[in-house]
Structure 1
């Protein structure tokens, strides 16, 4: 058998084995590498490359080496899940780098981190002034977690006592001029609805590069020709206006009727409608 075919077969086997081993070890290998996992990843990759190209070496020996480098970390990880001391031993622990706007120089030295590197990581979190920071912690994966001082934290609806709602993921219903039926069905719509909405804004499906529908059945369209302006969706505004008009009509009916029972009914319905409008306004104006 030619050498190139042997290398191809060995490489394929090593690739499959490496893929399976890293899948078992979990996605943490990719997203949150600790020192131990960093060493593990380098070694497994090196072993895979070695047994792939060194045709004179015993393939089985390389496989055994990879299994050893896989099984020991797997056992360590299982032990770390059950023991905090094991986690601290193999993964380390977070270290405070900034406290109440003051940089802790001793902790910088312990992490072998320069002030420039600390400031660079802070800028990566959109923090440019150390004095704005309440706490900054260097996590075990090397990421810097930052808690701003209360007065420097971004304002939220909760700050003003405004009710907010959880947003639902928009569905992509047109991509590259093709209608996607499954996302349409997910939000309870069909091609007829989509065609009607596109006709309202004078656009054909073939001219649509991307179209998305949000939880309020508002259609957002991006055309191939960026020079063509598409009207902004008005579904929320129209619904809010309709609700307010309904409340106004109920108040008008209450003022116009001479029947006391009907008057009370209209007034009660108007109050209920006002309550509905108050609860829906954060959604319909967002």
Structure 2
């Protein structure tokens, strides 16, 4: 098969999958359910297998992607409208730990062993089962945990501390390039940014690996 033909099919397939992913939404990237995972795999296979099939044309690739994309779109539409259909395709959360006790039946049902459960708990900073009151195994395989009150995280309101407004850290420089969108979002200008990095011994943005700004804090600047 000619390289030119492969290149054309790759380019067309790339943009077709990119557009389709934008249309279907972010779940095709995060693969939050088994259905989304399978659909993403098949989309890739449709393009991959057709590349080395000399009889497959660009139009056939586009047709296959369009048909499969339409099936996914229709399925997602019905899962949003019908709760029963949604549960059938995407699954439902399983209560693995209930009131501090491990539900062995749910473990077996989800093909989860105790070592895997311990691993998932540690990922949530729970290093002992005795600290956990409830644990839900979500449809995407992650674990949601509610700690027992004795081991729960202390919050500011519990200590009656003054509440501070939440702030969003923004990257102003990444790999020597100024991120102007974040500058605008923070209401700052590039002249101010350059003056700030000069105060920390950098001559220009090209000398900076990473610079992060957060309201009320000094600019974090790191060089190469």
RMSD: 3.0
Question: Are 1:115 and 2:114 an aligned pair?
Answer: yes
* Residue matched to 1:186: 186
Alignment partner of 1:205 is 2:205: no
Higher share of residues assigned helix = 1
Does the 8 A contact of 1:187 with 1:215 survive in 2?
A: no
SS of the residue 1:97 aligns to: strand
What's the offset of the Cα at 1:33?
Answer: 2.7
Q: 1:190 Cα deviation (Å)?
A: 7.3
Structure 1 residues 219 and 189: alpha-carbon distance in aligned structure 2, compared to 1, 3 A threshold: farther
Unaligned runs of 5+ in 1: 226-286
Paired residue secondary structure (2:126): coil
Q: How far apart, in 2, do the equivalents of 1:190 and 1:4 lie?
A: 46
Distance 1:67 1:197, change over 3 A: closer
Measure, in 2, the Cα distance between the counterparts of 1:174 and 1:74: 39
The residue that corresponds to 1:76 in the other structure is 75
Higher RCO (C-alpha 8 Å, min separation 6): 2
- With normalisation by structure 1, the TM-score equals 0.66
Residues of 1 paired with 2:152 and 2:219: CA distance? 32
- 1:102 is matched with 101
Deviation of residue 179 (structure 1)? 7.4
Bigger Rg, structure 1 or 2: 1
Q: Is the 8 A contact 1:177 1:205 kept in 2?
A: no
* Match in the other structure for 1:92: 91
Shift of 1:88: 0.6
CA distance in 2, matches of 1:180, 1:19: 24
Alpha-carbon contact 1:14-1:52 (below 8 Å) kept:
no
Offset from partner CA, 1:259-283 (integer Å, 9 cap, x none): xxxxxxxxxxxxxxxxxxxxxxxxx
Partner of residue 233, structure 1:
none
Matched, 1:215 2:212: no
Q: Are the equivalent residues in 2 in contact too, given 1:173–1:184 (CA < 8 A)?
A: no
Structure 1 residues 185 and 14, CA, compared in 2 at 3 Å: closer, same or farther?
closer
